[in-house]
Structures are given as structure tokens and as C-alpha cells.
Structure 1
Amino acid sequence: MGWAAGWDENKKGIFGQIRGWEREWGALEEGYIDWIYREWGNGVVLQRVAWRIDWSRAVPRWEAELQSLENEDCRLDAMICSMQENLISLSEDENNEKWALFSHNCHVIVLLFALLLAIILAIIC
């Protein structure tokens, strides 16, 4: 059967799965389907692609998605502004600066201790 397995005689769909796609986006011209068959031959599983787009259906969905993305952008901007304000207030407090330095120094000490322990274990083993 080759590439035509599952292809109906009228070249209207493959395995019956393309019907919704055809209704929404349109279908290939018969000449283009024949050209693909001639150029690629056996073994090609051809699915029809969108050449004629039904813009009246696509545009409202894109507009809705764009509005959703704009809302998400505004929400993220508000979160960023809030975080920046929190960071500014934390950095203005001297006590917080001391704790930040202490915390950083503790991390450095712990890392050095872990490195020393790893070296000792490597020497022993």
C-alpha cells in the first residue's frame, strides 16, 4: 500500500482525523497534493496544512489571548514593583544590612568547613 495507506480514493482526508482541521483552516489544492506525491513518493504520511486561513475565526481568539497576556503582564509588573519596594525598605534599614552580612559570612564559613572536611576525607580514604 505504501504512502497511500489510509488515504481514501477522493483524497479528502487521512485516517479520518483531518476533518476538523479542514473545516477550520481549509485544505490543500489537489494539484499540490499530487505534486507532493510525485516529489516525495512512497513512505510519505501526508497531512494537509493550512493554506487558506479562516481569519474570522482566528482573530477573536488571538485578541482574547492578547488581552490575557496584557493582564498577566500588568500583574507581573505590579509584583515586580512590590518586590522592589520591599528590597528598598530592607536595604535602608541598617539592622537588616548587618544581618545580611552575618548571613553571608555564615554561608562562607560553612562552605569552607565543608571543603576542609572533603579534603580530610579524601586524604584518609
Structure 2
Amino acid sequence: MKTIQPNENITLEELQERVKYILSFKPRLEKLMNTDIVQGVEMARILRQFISAEDKELTKAKYDSLINRDKYLSNYRGFIREFRQFDGNITPENLHSFIFEITSAHSSVEMHVLFPTNDQIPF
């Protein structure tokens, strides 16, 4: 998935797809943690690079006004910021902590704005 390009035409559905993409890594990472931890770390690093690119784009000053006016973009940025808690390199020893960050972001307040009905929230 390409890095987000915030604009006035971005839809809730597009933001939901981005969230689903991120959350879709959790079950795969959990499985790999038990079967092929090296591949799991590689996959987690790919996800982290994506999240970092999203964060970098969403925190650019030129988008502040737009994001502050758009509750969905604002909440998506909040969802992405949930991942800032994880610090350092992803290793076999701390892969479980990165997976926990996905779980934590899943239960964030922002999720309930991005997915207004609970049955829409993935996993």
C-alpha cells in the first residue's frame, strides 16, 4: 500500500482500508512468532516502515489545518500515533511487544470513530 497523501477528498472507506491493512498483520505475526520468528521480524519491520511513513506524512505542518478539520483524518493520525510507544529495533526478543502495540491501537478511542459500529472493527 502506498503512503497516504492527505487531501480533502479522502474518504472514510479509504482510511478504514488503511487501518484494516495494518491490523491484518497481527494474526500473521502471531503465527510467525511461533513458526518462523525471523520471517515474523522481517514482516513486522515492513509494517513498521509503513506506519513510520504514514506518521511522517500525517505530521507535516502543511496538513495540520486539513487534518484538524477532518475528524476521520484526525482520528487516523491518532491511530497511527498509537504506534509511537514502541521504541527501538524489532528483534525476535521483542516481536511480542510490537504485536501488543497493534492490539493496543486496535482498542484505541480513534477506532470507534473510524469504525462507527463495533461489528466493522477488524479482528
Whether these two folds match at TM > 0.5 is no
Give me the TM-score of the superposition, normalised by structure 1. 0.24
**Larger-Rg structure:** 1
Q: TM-score, normalised by structure 2?
A: 0.25
